[in-house]
């Protein structure tokens, strides 16, 4: 079992409960609504993002309820009627959730999740759903950038002590693993999610001993099959690496063991790695790995490798676990439709900022693939439409609606799946390894290399079916008038 379920029903903004009370008081709560969860821009001006956190969202939905203590807290606020408080005592989420699979590559303004539920149910879950998606998607996206910058070298999550709290450390490690890191130093995350754990030694270990040599010797005697020495406590080149080599020769090699690696945690990492590599190779220790850490991210890793730094693996902490360069994912939760007397009526949010105008209605989103299997665009359609790829398919680019455009020799994959039905999950969850493998498969086989650039990536377009675009324009015209 990956984790123990917990009830976090009280994770909400107050307005969600005041709105729920208002709906309870003024309406029968029999009509269904649909809310879309989407985001408006990729972090770090990237070409795409990685969706993570779905498993925790489903677990939250399944266990959502209000204890007697919760109800009494609401009573103490003097905002809610006794009838509504009684209603909360028996509350459970009764709606459906349609979602992209966890680990999916996602793009701005497409509905990654759609919640179809009674109005009160849909309103209450807003903050929790956004908190879980925003955090893990942000960290998975950042981790994936860092992993790609390492060009096949190992990357480990070292970030727990710099995370914003305990959950951020643990679920950040989970998201980092989805993004592609090989292991985590966070033991609780390893235990909860079966992520490989890794770690070396502390500076305090070296400083506690009377000498650096004695510190390495003691460590080698305890961990002869897995020795990695931290060589920057005093002087990397004049003390650390020479002592590591001496202990390898004095203690490990007589036992038939090899020094697994040395770790650099400060200084000019490219320069030190080059000098250390020459010293290790001259001692016949070509198999000894060099591991680097210290405020790394995709840009510093790229720079180190561009300088020819012979680094075999990276430990990445604060800049990954906090997504320091762009620490807000920005997913939002907007109502898109209301079902009255069995008919869905679209709803749209209009803004002076064009980018904040929402895509209305209960809809479908398809990923469009070329004949070579590459994803070339996203397509939003009416919920009743199924695009036909056997013939040219006309579509609308909402940024250039006057152009006549067609998808030819393409296939269409519907991206949302029913993951929650009447408040319960519809299928077993994939393992974390399967989610991670899914990310890797998409980036290797489906997503253009041009979209994976760190600087000025190719834009992935969000297009619309003619019928959907017409519905949106008609709705905008009606609102404006």
CA dist 390 and 382 (Å) reads 19
Q: Has residue 444 got a pLDDT over 70? A: yes
Residue 467, token pair as written in the block: 């019928």
The pLDDT of residue 352 is 82
Region 1-9 average pLDDT: 63
Region 255-279 average pLDDT: 97
Strands 228-230 and 261-264: parallel
Q: Please give the span between the terminal C-alpha atoms of the chain, in angstroms, as a whole number.
A: 56
CA-based nearest residue to 254, from 226, 222, 290, 224: 224
CA 388 centroid distance within chain: 32
The pLDDT of residue 29 is 66
Per-residue confidence band for 355, with pLDDT thresholds at 50, 70 and 90: confident
pLDDT tens column, 391-420? 999 999 999 999 999 999 999 999 999 999
The pLDDT of residue 480 is 58
Q: Which residue has the higher pLDDT, 352 or 109?
A: 109
Coil, strand or helix: which one is 290? strand
CB contact set of 392 (below 8 Å; sequence gap of 6+): 406, 407, 408
CA dist 88 and 35 (Å) reads 21
Region 436-460 average pLDDT: 97
The pLDDT of residue 91 is 97
Per-residue confidence band for 2, with pLDDT thresholds at 50, 70 and 90: very low
CA dist 343 and 325 (Å) reads 45
Per-residue confidence band for 341, with pLDDT thresholds at 50, 70 and 90: confident
Region 317-335 average pLDDT: 97
pLDDT tens column, 281-321? 999 999 999 999 999 999 999 999 999 999 999 999 999 99
The pLDDT of residue 4 is 53
The pLDDT of residue 374 is 98
Per-residue confidence band for 477, with pLDDT thresholds at 50, 70 and 90: confident
CA dist 305 and 51 (Å) reads 28
CA dist 430 and 52 (Å) reads 12
CA-based nearest residue to 261, from 294, 227, 234: 227
Q: Sketch out the chain's domains with CATH numbers.
A: 14-139+327-480 (3.20.140.10), 140-321 (3.20.20.70)
| pLDDT > 90: percent of the chain | 94
C-alpha distances out from residue 474 to 139, 356, 360, 367, 459, Å = 39, 18, 11, 25, 27
pLDDT tens column, 173-191? 999 999 999 999 999 999 9
Region 52-68 average pLDDT: 97
pLDDT tens column, 190-234? 999 999 999 989 999 999 999 999 999 999 999 999 999 999 999
CA-based nearest residue to 267, from 233, 299, 242, 301: 233
| Global pTM value | 0.96
Strand partners, 106: 49
Mean pLDDT score of the chain, rounded to an integer? 96
Residue 465, token pair as written in the block: 């079916």
| pLDDT > 70: percent of the chain | 98
pLDDT tens column, 130-161? 999 999 999 999 999 999 999 999 999 999 99
Region 228-244 average pLDDT: 98
The pLDDT of residue 479 is 74
């Amino acid at each position: 079992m990956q984790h123990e379920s917990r009830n976090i029903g009280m994770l909400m903004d107050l307005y969600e409960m005041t709105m729920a009370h208002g709906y309870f008081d003024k309406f029968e709560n029999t009509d269904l609504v649909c809310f879309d969860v989407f985001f408006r821009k990729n972090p770090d001006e990237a070409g795409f993002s990685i969706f993570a956190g779905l498993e925790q969202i489903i677990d939250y939905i399944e266990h959502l309820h209000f204890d007697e203590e919760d109800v009494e807290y609401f009573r103490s606020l003097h905002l809610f009627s006794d009838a509504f408080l009684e209603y909360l005592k028996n509350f459970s989420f009764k709606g459906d959730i349609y979602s992209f699979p966890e680990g999916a590559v996602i793009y701005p303004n497409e509905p990654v999740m759609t919640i179809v539920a009674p109005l009160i149910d849909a309103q209450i879950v807003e903050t929790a759903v956004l908190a879980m998606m925003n955090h893990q998607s942000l960290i998975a996206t950042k981790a994936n950038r860092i992993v790609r910058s390492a060009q096949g070298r190992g990357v480990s999550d070292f970030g727990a002590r710099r995370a914003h709290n305990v959950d951020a450390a643990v679920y950040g490690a989970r998201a980092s693993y989805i993004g592609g890191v090989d292991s985590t130093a966070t033991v609780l995350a390893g235990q909860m999610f079966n992520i490989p754990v890794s770690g070396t030694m502390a500076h305090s270990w070296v400083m506690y001993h009377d000498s650096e040599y004695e510190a390495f010797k003691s460590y080698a005697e305890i961990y002869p099959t897995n020795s990695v020495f931290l060589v920057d406590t005093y002087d990397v080149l004049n003390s650390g690496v020479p002592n590591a080599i001496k202990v390898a020769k004095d203690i490990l090699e007589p036992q038939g063991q090899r020094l697994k690696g040395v770790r650099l945690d400060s200084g000019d990492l490219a320069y030190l790695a080059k000098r250390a590599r020459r010293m290790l190779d001259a001692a016949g220790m070509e198999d000894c790995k060099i591991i680097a850490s210290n405020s790394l991210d995709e840009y510093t890793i790229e720079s180190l490798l561009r300088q020819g730094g012979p680094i075999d693996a990276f430990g990445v902490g604060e800049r990954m676990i906090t997504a320091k360069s762009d620490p807000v994912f920005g997913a939002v939760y907007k109502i898109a439709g209301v079902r009255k007397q069995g008919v869905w009526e679209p709803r749209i949010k209009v803004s002076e900022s064009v980018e904040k105008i929402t895509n209305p209605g209960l809809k479908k989103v398809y990923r469009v693939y070329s004949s070579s299997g590459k994803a070339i665009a996203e397509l939003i359609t009416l919920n009743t439409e199924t695009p036909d790829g056997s013939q040219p398919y006309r579509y609308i680019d909402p940024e250039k609606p006057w152009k006549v455009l067609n998808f030819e020799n393409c296939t269409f994959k519907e991206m949302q799946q029913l993951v929650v039905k009447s408040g319960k999950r519809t299928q077993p969850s994939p393992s974390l390894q399967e989610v991670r493998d899914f990310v890797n498969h998409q980036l290797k086989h489906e997503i253009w290399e041009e979209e994976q650039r760190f600087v000025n990536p190719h834009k992935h377009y969000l297009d619309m079916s003619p019928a959907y675009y017409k519905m949106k324009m008609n709705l905008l015209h009606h609102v404006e008038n």
